Homo-oligomer: A and B are copies of this chain.
Amino acid sequence: MNCANQNGEVSETRNPDGTLRLRNPNIENLKEDILYHLALSTVSHDLVKMFGDVKFVCMGGTAKRMEHLAQYLQSEINYELPIGTSLCDLTEKSHRFAMYKVGPILCVNHGMGVPSIGILLHEITKLMYHAKVKNPIFFRIGTCGGIGLKEGTVIVAKSVVDEMGNTFHTQKICGKVVQRPAKLDQQLVKELTSLRKSDDTFNVVEGVTMCADDFYEGQGRTDGAFCDHTEEDKVNYLNELVKRGVTNIEMEATAFAALTHYAGIKAALINVALVNRLNGDQVTTPKETLLEWQNHPQILVGRYIKKVLRSETLV
């Protein structure tokens, strides 16, 4: 596979000016492309005017967190809104996702699980294409269960595995099983982890993130509505994961890594651990503390975005 090329060369996924080429020849022949779950379309909206200046797309699970993230980044990059205006949900009519725009930054929630983020990745990638966005960078800023890590620790994924240890994303397409490598940009991993400051109250580690298709049994938890496995099975499974180098478990990683990689989009997966699974299954920490921990990954991403925007101003 010929991957994204940021140096102005033609590739399977990129034009010389940095705009995307889609791995789907059908889209350019559509009279109208309706991004159904975003309630946007190439006919009803001027997508270039609305989104042409986007450089960063930040994704996370909940709509509320993405609204807060947009407000946080607005303040971080000193993005002023005209008096009498406030941020609004650009995809409100869809009733599916919530999307906020702060200058060059798009913040959009993806719900829970691979199928949900898969829908968003298809439509956001097409949005980047229609809007003629140049060299966008995608972030997933999420929450996860850590394995042997202190709660509040930020894990920047250097690689991704599924529940069976596979390093690819498996899909069924027209009755065939298709596997796509789940790969992340290693340079971006280094850049993000280097942005931790010595007086930060939280740690930042590079990790191997496991993607599960379930929160309860699929992550070995013994506190779901069903549990046919024993505490010993769980402990053995978690220890097996530790042996494989897995640092944390969430529910979107394989699709996020594989679909951005296939689209030739530079992407990073940054999760904060809300629980140490070696100590228990339940998330018992008060909501206020959880919300504070959820700020940790966005602090790192905010620093990265500011650094890139500063370097572009200096050029």
Contacts and interface: CB of A to CB of B under 8 A. Distances in A.
A213 interface: yes
For chain A, the bracket of interface size reads 35 or more
Nearest to A96: B62
A121 B22 contact: no
A171 B217 contact: yes
Interface string A85-124: 0000000010110000000000000011111101101110
Given A122-B224, A164-B175, A225-B125, A251 B115 contact: yes
A292 interface: no
A163 to B, nearest CB: 4
Interface string A127-143: 00100000000000000
A209 to B, nearest CB: 15
A95 B64 contact: yes
A206 to B, nearest CB: 24
A39, A93, A218 interface centre (most CB from chain B within 10 Å): A218
A34 interface: yes
Number of identical monomers bound together in the oligomeric complex: 2
A222 B26 contact: yes
B226 A262 contact: yes
Interface stretch (A184-192, A195-203, A279-287, A300-308): A279-287
Nearest to A170: B213
Interface string A198-242: 000000000000001111111010111111110001101100100
Given A113-B116, A214-B119, A287-B39, A227 B24 contact: yes
A160 to B, nearest CB: 15
B119 A24 contact: no
A50 interface: no
A315 interface: no
Interface in A49-81: 61-65
A147 to B, nearest CB: 14
Nearest to A211: B115
Contacts of A37: 112, 215
Given A36-B282, A62-B96, A287-B93, A114 B225 contact: no
Contacts of A26: 222-223, 227
A263 interface: yes
A95 to B, nearest CB: 4
Which 8 pairs of residues, A with B, have the shortest CB-CB distance?
A113-B115, A125-B225, A24-B227, A174-B237, A163-B172, A62-B95, A64-B95, A112-B116
27 contacts: A23-B225, A23-B228, A24-B226, A26-B222, A27-B223, A27-B225, A30-B223, A30-B282, A34-B282, A34-B283, A62-B95, A63-B95, A112-B113, A113-B118, A115-B115, A115-B116, A118-B215, A121-B225, A123-B225, A125-B225, A163-B172, A163-B175, A171-B214, A172-B213, A172-B218, A175-B237, A226-B263
